[in-house]
Structure 1
Amino acid sequence: MAEDYYEVLGVPRSADGSEIQQAFRTLARRYHPDVNRDPAAEERFKQINEAYSVLSDPGTRARYDRFGPDFRQIPEDYDERVAAGQGFGGGAGAYGGSPFGGGRGADRAGGRTWTQTDFDTSGVDFEDLFGGIFGGRGGRAGRGSPIPGADQEAELTLSVEEAYRGGRRKITLGGPGGERSYDVTIPAGVVDGQRIRLAGEGGRGRGPDSAGDLYLVVRIAPHPRYRLDGRDIHVDLPVAAWEAALGATVPVAGPGGTAKVHVPPGTSTGRRLRLRGEGMPHPKGSPGDLYAEIKVMVPPSPSPRERELFEELAAASSFDPRKQT
């Protein structure tokens, strides 16, 4: 039993032309034999094109909806023939219960003799079927019709600093045809998962301007100092015990340079200080923020005088950090 063309494209019978076209584009790219090496892909590709060739033409689609998979065997003047009581495919007289009898019948109006094959176009060249969508309006464009190449993806690993600054970078990617090099413009402030489009650098198609696109998926490499959360940047800020206790203005380094931040008196480890707008740039919106997380540090090997001062502080202070809430 012939497959239902709507099921082949995965669309409902109520689908409009744009839905049918979009379904066709998606499936054609997935099952094109130049992209999909599965042995069954080419046959699937033919089915997709056959379904699109029928459903994309309003007149042909209407006949398919009315007569089903045998619509090609119905003459265009079917209604006129039935009204005139003309014979078809199996004997004289009215249109019989099976109009596809396979025998030769007489067209009484014109005396022409015809067979079932006069209306059978099932042997359509599947490559020609691209013409209606990629090669012009309606109808077929012949074997020279453009066939779109597939879009492709590759990962582009960047450091936090490279993602922050952006700029030009030359990359080399391997593939079935060997290595290819590209000069890539990296927008300032790209984030992990963002895609950079290289138009026309994807899979090869047929015809001018038919190549697919290459998408570089940005991956931000782990950094020893910076942690990214979208466009926000988190960095540890070491401060001395007396800076944390007394307050101080200290430098904090970010990928965009060094900024000054005020540490309030009585600051403890874990407190976050926000530097608004010092995170990753955003070409079309607000930049992220830089968050400096305080880490109170003490001398790992205090000098005799430092030790003496700490002992004096310990004797004079009633502070007990273990009783703090």
Structure 2
Amino acid sequence: MGSSYGRGRLHLAAAIDQRVEGDAEVCVELARLAERGALDFVTVGDAFARPGPDTLAVSARVAPETGRVGLVPVVTATPDEPCRVRAAVATLDRVSRGRAGWWLGTPGPEDGAVPVRARHVGPVGAGDAEGAWLPAQRASAVTRPQQGHPVRVVDATEGESRGAAARCADVALLRVADPDHADAVRTELRDGAAGAGRDPDELRVLVSLRVDLGGGEYAAEPGHGGGGPRRTADGPLYRGGPVALAELIADWHRAGATDGFHLVPVEPRRDLERLVNGTVALLQHRGLFRTFYPGSTLREHLGLGPAQRNVVTGGGV
């Protein structure tokens, strides 16, 4: 293991969707906690989709209650509504003063959606939206977001999504359980970005890992804790304590296997508090993670340059 691309600063993000309560106020509380730990961004999943407020509405509620942490809702655009969704994400970027991202959800058959692939990146006018995987013939102009375009996040775990991630994603997420696998896919994605004419240093690759910190350091089972995450039907799972999790994060990043981690608490309120006050605090104490935000936008948190005026068009696959 050991990517030829090396490593930069460590990036950390967390999921804050509260699956049980479905309460936007809980997300406000969790986002503030994540911001206290100087995490790059938080994601809001589809736990609110049916019933209750959607991910964009929850993120808009969180925006005025926070000042630095990035906000990344999971948003699936079907062929009937790409312009509305794109405009809503641009609005979130404006109201959050440049802290918005967009996790490009995969539409399912129940949504009546046709899969769309990224196939072209080219210059467009400033009045055009900067969406991704949206049919060009359905595009319409919206007010330009503060960041140029909100940060685009793609789950690149499956092979068929990696080409699109390499071409258009700012952040690629990988649900993998060992550092060698993470290193290989990170190299594949960066090579793909370079092959598409992009600077591979403008792509961040984060390992998405479910974490259960309820039992503490002595609760780790074989395959957890010091033994690394365990593969489960819901993705790789770490079960153990905050200290061993900090060691895992530091080891994988030091080896160049990943640019950081997207951590998904099994119990959001319990685990995020232990993550921020335990794992993140330890990484900060060791000088491995920042203690404050040097910038104000999500692109700045991620160390990405200004967004280029690119539009990604798609077609059915």
TM-score normalized with structure 2 length: 0.24
Bigger helix share? 2
Larger CA Rg, structure 1 vs 2: 1
Structure scoring higher RCO (CA < 8 A, sep ≥ 6) equals 2
